[in-house]
Amino acid sequence: MLSSFGVDTVNSEDFLTALRAGRCSVVVTQSFRVVPQKPHVTGHRTCARLRRLGTDIVADRCTGGPPATISLTKLR
């Protein structure tokens, strides 16, 4: 999980590996929370590949809406 925090907000991306159609993929669930409310899911992505991009690790070839590449080490 990768999270960023504001005074009363939390933006999170949760990364899981999954086996789909005989292939491994990375499933990304994005959520946003205003404390003390419960988190609201803001997006789901399924990515076909992990790779290093400079000093970053990214999941790319993602489907489910933009962006097609998601950082696992830096929030946008």
Q: How far apart are CA 6 and CA 26, in angstroms?
A: 27
pLDDT in tens, 30-68: 999 999 999 999 999 999 999 999 999 999 999 988 778
pLDDT in tens, 15-29: 999 998 889 999 999
The model's confidence at residue 2, banded by pLDDT at 50, 70 and 90, is confident
Q: How far apart are CA 3 and CA 1, in angstroms?
A: 7
64: amino acid identity, one letter: G
Domain boundaries, the chain: 2-71
